Amino acid sequence: MEPMMPPMSRRKRVLVSAFACEPYKGSEPEVGWQWAMQMARFYEVTVLTQSLYKEGIESALKSLGSERPKPHFIYFDLPEWLQGLRKFSVGLRIYYVLWQKRGRAVVEREHRKNPFDLLHHVTFAAFRYPALIWGHGVPCIWGPVGGMESIPTPLLPWNHPVFFVVEVFRNLNNLLQAAPHSKLAKRAAASDTVLVSTMEMQSSLAKLKLPSQLIPTIGLQTRDLPHSSHRQSAGPLRIIFVGKIISLKGIDLALKALSDSGTDATLTFIGTGNYLPAARRCVEKLGLKDRVTFLGKLPREEVLAIYSTFDVMLFPSLHDTGGFAVIEAMFNELPVICLDCGGPAVAVRAGCGIRVPIGSRKSVIEGLAAAIRYYDGDRQALLAHGKAARETILDHYDWDKKGDQMNEVYAETLARASKQPREVS
């Protein structure tokens, strides 16, 4: 008599909440898509997202080989009369909150039909909004989330009243959110695992005596990206900035640092934004017209190809949770000069760029200027830091490796939850 084979264990069922989810779009939609695809390698994944992403998602799924596990997508929208809210910034936030609240009923319905083993919120990757994953009697993972990064008072845009007011209110909101018994504390406490994308976010939770794990929310599909090795360059140092031209990106700090660096370095901006007129006026005032170029917004393919023509990235963002441009530049062997805050400070490790400490406006500009002088005067260090930057991205920001890391988080979360009784709220 042949021995009976043990039954095959089923794949555990996971719901991924991804309000934004679409391939090849960058930013939040790319984050939602990549986490969903990565976790489908290990689990039976259902993704809850919006129908506006359906065409892009379905097209991408068709192009994938049949051997690759794929998530199942549920498309959920608020009533049509509310969808116009998504057309402007404040309205999008209102729509998002309502989507999270009403989406709970969708999760409950799907959970009754075929129970989930784990719920995971991935987008939006901001801590200050509710999420539909809590209170279903199922282990849940929140994040990676960020957003606790605030602009220090000396670095606020004092000369630009509208931007100043926006950032002051954001700072105040962060102070309120970081207080004991705040919504942040309640949301983190309701999660079995909290993942954070910045050290500021982790520090805020630690002060509330709430544990978290630092995992950057962004990544790159490195095997699909073009790459050209850098060679030592001669002539003026070629600096690039890629991103939105808005106040929080520290554009004015970059321009003043360039002026004060005492070098003949050039700076090229790729991107657009409401700070562009002010940036142009700053260029005129500092006499940098011959050294600063604004190329506007370019397709991602062009940006990726253009990195090899530059030496270093300057990215003095004041509260950037992620920083896709930073990791793309590092992948292309560009060391990065950034402020020691937010997502860039996590990516730019020792030996692959320069993190300038946060301080007074004067000290920050001096730090950025000194970094420019350093790379201008030591091209061998420039090359060495660029190669180290690329290795950092390959080791820590490759999506497949991040998927392996998240799989470990899932396993640990499920193991802990199996030892604890759970209640449905």
pLDDT at 231 over 90: no
Q: What is the pLDDT of residue 171?
A: 74
Across 40-49, 100-109, 153-162, 347-356, least confident range: 153-162
| Distances from the Cα of 101 to the Cα of 62, 108, 138, 147, angstroms | 32, 12, 17, 21
Phi, psi of 37 (to 5 degrees): -65, -40
pLDDT at 86 over 80: yes
pLDDT at 203 over 80: yes
Average pLDDT of the chain, as a whole number: 89
The span from the CA of 211 to the CA of 329, in Å, is 32
The span from the CA of 143 to the CA of 133, in Å, is 11
Burial of 19 (0-12, 13-18, 19+ CB in 10 A): buried
pLDDT at 64 over 90: no
The span from the CA of 355 to the CA of 345, in Å, is 7
Q: What mean pLDDT comes out for the span 43-61?
A: 94
Q: What is the pLDDT of residue 5?
A: 44
The span from the CA of 422 to the CA of 94, in Å, is 31
pLDDT at 321 over 90: no
| Distances from the Cα of 130 to the Cα of 137, 237, 342, 410, 420, angstroms | 17, 46, 22, 21, 24
Across 77-91, 177-191, 234-248, least confident range: 177-191
The span from the CA of 246 to the CA of 274, in Å, is 6
Residue whose tokens read 């209102």:
94
Q: What is the pLDDT of residue 6?
A: 46
Closest by CA position to 143, among listed 78, 57, 213: 213
Q: What is the pLDDT of residue 271?
A: 93
Q: What mean pLDDT comes out for the span 275-281?
A: 92
pLDDT band at 417 (very low <50, low <70, confident <90, very high): confident
Strands of the sheet containing 312-315, edge to edge, are: 292-294, 266-270, 238-242, 312-315, 336-339, 353-356
**Residue scoring higher pLDDT (262 or 152):** 262
Share of the chain above pLDDT 70, in %: 96
Closest by CA position to 263, among listed 287, 289, 282, 236: 236
Q: What is the pLDDT of residue 172?
A: 81
pLDDT band at 26 (very low <50, low <70, confident <90, very high): confident
pLDDT at 304 over 60: yes
Q: What mean pLDDT comes out for the span 103-132?
A: 92
| Distances from the Cα of 376 to the Cα of 216, 284, 365, 369, angstroms | 30, 23, 16, 11
DSSP codes joined into one string, 339-376: ESSHHHHHHS-TTSEEEEPP--HHHHHHHHHHHHHHHH
DSSP codes joined into one string, 65-122: -TTS---EEEE----GGGGGGGGSHHHHHHHHHHHHHHHHHHHHHHHHHS--SEEEEE
Closest by CA position to 120, among listed 358, 332, 403, 315: 403
Q: What mean pLDDT comes out for the span 162-184?
A: 77
pLDDT at 178 over 90: no
The helices-and-strands tally (H runs, E runs) of the chain is 14, 13
pLDDT at 143 over 90: no
Q: What is the pLDDT of residue 9?
A: 60
The span from the CA of 199 to the CA of 117, in Å, is 29
* 338 strand-pairing partners: 315, 355
Q: What mean pLDDT comes out for the span 34-55?
A: 95
Query: pLDDT tens for residues 365-413?
Result: 999 999 999 999 999 999 999 999 999 999 999 999 999 999 999 999 9
Q: What is the pLDDT of residue 121?
A: 97
Q: How much is the pTM? A: 0.89
CB 41 within 8 A of CB 403: yes
Q: What mean pLDDT comes out for the span 47-58?
A: 94
Reading the block at residue 298, the tokens are 């370019």
Q: What is the pLDDT of residue 1?
A: 46
pLDDT at 424 over 60: no
